């Protein structure tokens, strides 16, 4: 379970990620927001998401992917000369770089901007990881931000600039890079968290 606290005007707000029970009485907060709780706390609404059990063998996880996804990951790994990296405790500059990248992506999708303060709070409690893929010239092709605890990793933000590329082969490379990054993230979190 991850708990972040903040103030908005005169209200104390607690965000609780991944809670397993109704723990509302233990927080010193005016508003308690449960995110991805395993039990409905009464005021929430259900949502649907993809859950992947990283306790499975790596070969099993890979085989359970769509055939085209497996091909794209293999091609990105073997032919595209891409490199993936992850920051477990990103610096202020790394968070800012991620936010700038995401915000440029958000404009193309007409989304809200990245909540930089939330990322900093998550980093301070050791619950933030940022991952990215670069091409052979060092250009970042895609970025992911995760909320992580001992038992779970949850994708918070995902960004790619493929819409900005005029060249269709560059857009296709960006798509492969994103699949490759998801796979690299899964393998990393399988080793780190589980």
Q: How far apart are CA 20 and CA 40, in angstroms?
A: 9
Task: Return the number of other C-beta atoms located less than 10 Å from residue 55's C-beta.
Answer: 9
CA angle 50, 89, 109 (to 5 degrees): 50
Which element (helix H / strand E) includes 74?
A: helix 67-78
C-alpha–C-alpha distance, residues 185 and 14, integer Å: 28
Question: 164 or 93: which carries more pLDDT confidence?
Answer: 93
The predicted structure's pLDDT at residue 35: 74
Strand residue runs (E) in 57-100: 83-87
In order of their start, the domains of the chain are: 2-35 (no CATH), 58-192 (3.40.630.30)
Q: pTM value?
A: 0.84
Residue 142 predicted with pLDDT over 70: yes
């Amino acid at each position: 379970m991850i708990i972040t606290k903040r103030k908005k005007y005169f209200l104390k707000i607690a965000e609780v990620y991944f809670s397993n029970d109704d723990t509302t009485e233990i927080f010193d907060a005016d508003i308690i927001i449960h995110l991805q709780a395993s039990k409905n706390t009464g005021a929430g609404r259900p949502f649907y998401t993809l859950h992947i059990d990283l306790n499975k063998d790596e070969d099993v996880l890979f085989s359970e992917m769509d055939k085209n996804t497996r091909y794209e990951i293999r091609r990105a790994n073997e032919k595209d000369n891409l490199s993936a990296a992850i920051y477990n405790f990103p610096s202020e500059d790394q968070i800012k770089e991620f936010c700038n990248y995401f915000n440029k992506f958000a404009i193309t999708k007409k989304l809200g901007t990245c909540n930089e303060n939330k990322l900093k709070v998550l980093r301070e409690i050791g619950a933030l990881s940022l991952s990215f893929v670069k091409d052979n010239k060092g250009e970042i092709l895609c970025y992911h931000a995760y909320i992580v605890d001992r038992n779970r990793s949850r994708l918070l933000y995902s960004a790619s600039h493929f819409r900005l590329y005029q060249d269709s082969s560059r857009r296709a490379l960006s798509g492969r890079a994103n699949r490759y990054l998801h796979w690299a993230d899964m393998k990393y979190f399988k080793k780190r968290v589980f």
